[in-house]
Structure 1
């Protein structure tokens, strides 16, 4: 394992306890600040991804999505959460075939539609279990969460030179201004 792919010792031990003896580790981090992702292969040639969230809020949001949204998609259509550790804050995910949306060459319109569908799915998964319309307080919370997410994206994008993150923040602000969350 080279320094570029080296996984911290306590994280590697946790991964081994979770999925069994690891035979290979490769960096799968993206070209952005704070990205810490590894692809691990266990002795049975099964692949997993280990992801350490850069901030507790990201960990909370992602583990929520893996627990409550991904099951709605059906088996094999998205990575599944194998285990998570809030102390690290890390996740072990199954590997699925395909290319992540942000690594595909798609038109702006197709990419926007994919994000719109994901937002609709997340909103339905998050609030669908209630079996009722959102209360005024829940609706207000949804708008607040969207605004907080937009502010975070704009700040992170500006700080790290992350154009896609900044654009996501701007799109969320545009949707807020149009009343999409009302």
Structure 2
């Protein structure tokens, strides 16, 4: 059992200058070492969240997202930024009601409903506004950047992948580079049920955690869902895309498949390095599936040996 992470005194004092006295603090961090989030209860009875970003890049992305992109989601559909403190990479946020979807023990119908709500809100995020010129350049280069990153992660993964698996990842990276222009937007970047807050017997829905929000191809926001929930439950993908408002094009489906290979090798680096069994299993499962699908099929009607 991990020890609670202490809230730095200087950051607490800064938060109290903006909200009044804090009467209780709860460590709300994720399991990985660099996650630092606390739930603060004020003397006014209001709960707020204080987050210290793991890097300048994530702080810049998230503070910018809260100021310029998140408002397009509408009231109560995401936390609001109360203030930020760049010297400590700190963000002070309002709370949204509910609990993460992954903690609710939903049945199949419940999951379809949640994915439908996620699709609708994701569409609103993706249509938040025109990209600034520099952001458009970054977005249009995002698939090539993902492909370029594959070699870096392959090097770091070492013998966690076989030679055949390494070649499969390289093949998918090469295909990704050949895909033409795709629709671009500001993506959430970590679009999955742990960041979906559900309240009011399923009627309320909000997005959390915008540290990975960035300009990119729209389809990059669907990678995690593709290799987790949608892998065994295509009905959830159908519900999401119906609410999202359009089907993926053939080029987007092809890009999505290639991106799952990039995600797999990333997971097989990050997961073991951070002792995250869930992320490691996600990468291994995706890679095993891609290898099975790439295996040559026998022509005599039998299964491959």
Q: Which runs of 5+ in 1 are unaligned?
A: 172-182
CA distance change for structure 1 residues 162 and 43 in 2, over 3 Å: closer, same or farther? same
Deviations 1:121-154 (A, max 9, x none): 44432xx23599x96x454334356566758666
For residue 116 of structure 1, report the CA deviation from its aligned partner: 6.2
Equivalent residues in 2 for 1:26-37, closer than 5 Å: 26-37=26-37
Aligned residues of 2:73 and 2:121 also touching (Cα < 8 A) = no
Q: Equivalent residue for 1:39?
A: 39
* Structure 2 residues without counterparts, runs of 5 or longer: 150-188, 190-262, 287-305
Q: Following TM superposition, by how much is the alpha carbon of 1:100 offset from its aligned partner in structure 2, in angstroms?
A: 2.2
Q: Name the SS of the counterpart of 1:17 in structure 2.
A: helix
SS at match of 1:12: helix
Deviations 1:45-95 (A, max 9, x none): 111000111122222222233223321121112211111122211111101
For 1:10-159, what aligned pairs fall within 5 Å after superposition? 10-105=10-105, 120-125=123-128, 128-129=129-130, 137-144=137-144, 155-159=269-273
Looking at both structures, which has the greater relative contact order when contacts are Cα pairs under 8 Å and sequence separation is at least 6?
2
Structure showing greater radius of gyration is 2
Q: Distance in 1 between matches of 2:132 and 2:7?
A: 43
Report the CA distance between 1:165 and its aligned residue.
Answer: 4.9
Q: Is the 8 A contact 1:37 1:51 kept in 2?
A: yes
The corresponding residue for 1:160 is: 274
TM (norm. structure 1) is 0.68
Cα RMSD over matched residues? 3.7
Local SS of the residue matching 1:129 = coil
- Calculate the TM-score normalised by the size of structure 2: 0.44
Shift of 1:39: 0.8
